[in-house]
Structure 1
Amino acid sequence: MLTIESLTHLGMGRASDGQSLLPRVLPGEEVDVAQDGTVRIVTPSVNRVAPPCRHFKSCGGCAMQHATDAFVADWKQDIVVKAVQARGIDTVFRDIATSPSQSRRRAKLSGRRTKKGAIVGFHTRASDTLVQVPDCRLLTPALIDSFPALEALTVLACSRKGEIDLTVTEASLGPDVLVATDKELTPQLRVELAGLANQFGLSRLVWNDEPVVMINPPAQEFGGTGVVPPPGAFLQATKHGEATLLAAVEEITMNANRIVDLFAGCGTFTLPLAKRAEVHAVEGEVAMLDALDRGWREGHQLRRVTTETRDLFRRPLETDELRHFDTAVIDPPRAGAEAQIETLAASEIKTIAMVSCNPVTFARDARRLVDAGFDTPWMQVVDQFRWSPHVEIVASFTRK
């Protein structure tokens, strides 16, 4: 018998034998592990609950449905707190903000043909076995309603032995679907796909990198401004999470006159901030900035927005370029923004709003700013990826 001593940042239980990492267990539990690796809970934790989703045992999409919401919230907050404290940073943490169930508006699913039709869903943990999830507790009802369309797409796009990826995003006028497949897009297949899109009310259907049909522009709203993102473009996972992050960024930048938005994407922060300040949006993907620019030009009562396509990992904005701005917003990928943080630290910018999806690189970058003379009065953890190990962080940095 083993006792679970703690959880890793990925939600795996560290057992008392000093070597076992076990899934779906909780600290303090006593467990038996069979020779085939099956874990039996002997003494359950007081924080253990019945999973709210009937697919939890077979699906690999969630890791923490067996724990109370309060436990998961504390565990996620603690991951970030420990990462920050390990870098010697002292700050105040606001209460964690957790997105509700059935609020994930974008998902990457897999599809596989069967003798009777098709399966669309998620893989089981550490396996290529595909599980249907018609009652998924993560996805919005609109995404669940798109499953028949995705199954029909799988029949057309997939060979009998292959598998395809389906990225589906909720849009107001119908699902926005990107298909990743090795199958050739023939003229006849184009006709069939167009018919399928009309039948199921898809707003846009893209085959690999090639648009097949757009019945309605799949616009997303950023602060009331409509933007049509390029297929598969980054989007905050939930509207709740996006609103929470935006509220924090707006609070941090409330006194700004000229803002530089680094890793701006399609304008999640740029366009709402442009209601009261001039914004320069910098992003490495041309298509995202084109979408942002079109949204701004068609928007109402927005101040000046300029865009710049630039690889901020290889060519960060230098201090002489940053002197035109009093405030920076930065939301880098998981790798963080070490090079750009260096130039921000050396610049004269007074205020920085930093958003991150990786506690380790966030803490590293935050330490550099603190060393350069910034205070960090508060941080907040945002849980858009409910029941998973993933977290978002937003933090305020003000130069002393």
Structure 2
Amino acid sequence: MATVNFFWPVLKAKTEKTRSMSTRVTIERMGAGGDGIAATAAGSAYVPFSLPGEVANVALENGRATMMALIEPSPERVAPACRHFEECGGCTLQHWQDSAYQEWKRSLVQDALGGRGLLFKLEPLVTCAPQTRRRTVFAVRTSERGAVLGFNKHQSHELIDIAECPITVPEIVSRLDDLRDLVAVLGGGMKLFKLTVTSTASGLDITASGCGAPDAAKRQALTALVIKKDFARLSFEGEIIVEPRKPLVHFGKVPVFLPPGGFLQATAEAEEAMCNLVAGHLAKSKKTLDLFCGSGTFAFRMAEKSSVHAVESDQGAVAAIDRSVRFVQGLKPVSVERRDLFRRPFLARELAPFNGLVFDPPRAGAEAQAIEIAKSSVSKVAAVSCNPVTLARDLSILVKGGYKIDRVVPVDQFLWSSHVEAVALLSKK
């Protein structure tokens, strides 16, 4: 008896419908989110994994497009570095030639600041090499086939299991299977949760979140596994589960033990470049202020030449600075203060004793703090940001308060993504 496929008419109808809905478009430019933008009868469409000048057939849905066929590829298109590209959403721009990609990355800062009417000199992009990302946030879950570890598919909640990651340091990539063993013990069912992995001088520092607090039996199993795998530390939502060795990093000449889940710049090379810019700009300042200081990334380097007052809201980061200061010699005085700068920014009168400062806020920027700095007499200011849009807003506040933008340096700390870091150096007579 012949086998009848009852689903074929339905599948055929869906295929024909998809074909009839496909639209030929030309990619006019690259959007700020890393998708190509094409004009259609229904308005602008965002086409992932496309490049300016390319012609493609796409399926449209609510302003977003899925590429069905690439008709005319750009001469700037290159072979991606990773087998998971276009499936994994961790990178969106591996297919773009370096020079064109870097110029676009630089333009993100140019357009954001230029849109505010700011006058500034934008310097060349500071690039970062592959295999240098030392801090990675993996999406993970357990399944019937075992632990799954990777990144969400582009514009989706679907988890893509990875076997490689060309942006991440080998110290992490070589341990993917060991990390999956850890995920299997953490459990969490089919629910997605996060595993933040940081490569430190002491080994891998791992923080789990979103999987439910481990009970006594699971803690015991996790402890045994961490020791067996020779991880430096495992913590859950800021609580240390087991710590065979304290995770160690160096900020300049100063060794610092990172707090659980503590902030660290994504690459050591980008951190060094940004710190050199900030320290150089504030080199002649006798008394400096480090706002949103983390665990001392800028503070300890600036303390080689000037006294520093470091301010941060996170208790773990404040404790890390305080502990490190006690055991280091050869630095100018370093003091530390725990303070929520969003609720209690340093007022202009509190800024009076300082003649130099740096602020490195989260993506939301530091609008309230910028207003107070603008009213102050601090002569040298360095603004560090991972968001050109909020940086432009904060700089416009400072400029209206009498500051002049001396230099702006974009830093490609987040390789092959739409994110870019920037350091703006300002002065006030």
Q: Which amino acid aligns with 2:149?
A: V
**Post-superposition offset of 1:35:** 6.8
Listed as ranges, the matches of 1:1-400 within 5 Å are: 1-17=24-40, 18-34=43-59, 37-400=66-429
Higher relative CO (Cα under 8 Å, sequence separation at least 6) belongs to 1
**Post-superposition offset of 1:364:** 1.2
Could you tell me how far apart the structure 2 residues matched to 1:57 and 1:4 are?
17
Spell out, residue by residue over 1:72-113, the C-alpha distance to the aligned partner (whole angstroms, 9 max, x if none): 110111111111111111221111011100110001112222
- More displaced 10-residue stretch of structure 1: 202-211 or 155-164: 155-164
- More displaced 10-residue stretch of structure 1: 37-46 or 221-230: 37-46
SS of 1:170's equivalent in the other structure is strand
Could you tell me how far apart the structure 2 residues matched to 1:296 and 1:60 are?
40
Spell out, residue by residue over 1:247-289, the C-alpha distance to the aligned partner (whole angstroms, 9 max, x if none): 1101111111100101111100001111111000011112111
Task: Indicate conservation of the 8 Å contact 1:158/1:181, yes or no.
Answer: no
How many residues get paired? 400
Task: Indicate conservation of the 8 Å contact 1:104/1:238, yes or no.
Answer: yes
**Post-superposition offset of 1:365:** 1.1
Task: Indicate conservation of the 8 Å contact 1:154/1:164, yes or no.
Answer: no
SS of 1:110's equivalent in the other structure is strand
Task: Indicate conservation of the 8 Å contact 2:149/2:160, yes or no.
Answer: yes
Change (3 A) 1:15 1:35: closer
Spell out, residue by residue over 1:185-241, the C-alpha distance to the aligned partner (whole angstroms, 9 max, x if none): 222222211110111111011123321111111011100211112111111000011
Could you tell me how far apart the structure 2 residues matched to 1:226 and 1:14 are?
46
Q: Mind listing any 5+ residue stretches in structure 2 that lack a counterpart?
A: 1-23
Could you tell me how far apart the structure 2 residues matched to 1:181 and 1:370 are?
42
Q: Which amino acid aligns with 1:375?
A: K
Could you tell me how far apart the structure 2 residues matched to 1:213 and 1:184 are?
14
What percentage of residue pairs aligned between the two structures are identical?
A: 37
Could you tell me how far apart the structure 2 residues matched to 1:179 and 1:291 are?
21
Change (3 A) 1:161 1:68: same
Q: Say which one has the larger Rg.
A: 2
Task: Indicate conservation of the 8 Å contact 2:49/2:86, yes or no.
Answer: no
**Post-superposition offset of 1:164:** 2.4
Q: Which amino acid aligns with 1:106?
A: R
Could you tell me how far apart the structure 2 residues matched to 1:170 and 1:72 are?
27
Q: Which amino acid aligns with 1:20?
A: A
Could you tell me how far apart the structure 1 residues matched to 2:158 and 2:102 are?
30
Q: Which amino acid aligns with 2:276?
A: A
Change (3 A) 1:159 1:331: closer
Task: Indicate conservation of the 8 Å contact 1:275/1:303, yes or no.
Answer: yes
Q: Which amino acid aligns with 1:226?
A: P
- More displaced 10-residue stretch of structure 1: 297-306 or 253-262: 297-306
Could you tell me how far apart the structure 2 residues matched to 1:184 and 1:316 are?
35
**Post-superposition offset of 1:325:** 0.6
**Post-superposition offset of 1:181:** 3.8
Q: Which amino acid aligns with 2:48?
A: P
Could you tell me how far apart the structure 2 residues matched to 1:359 and 1:233 are?
23
SS of 1:384's equivalent in the other structure is coil
Task: Indicate conservation of the 8 Å contact 1:149/1:196, yes or no.
Answer: no
Q: What's the TM-score once normalised by structure 2's chain length?
A: 0.90
Q: Which amino acid aligns with 1:171?
A: T
Spell out, residue by residue over 1:378-399, the C-alpha distance to the aligned partner (whole angstroms, 9 max, x if none): 1100011000000011011011
**Post-superposition offset of 1:132:** 2.1
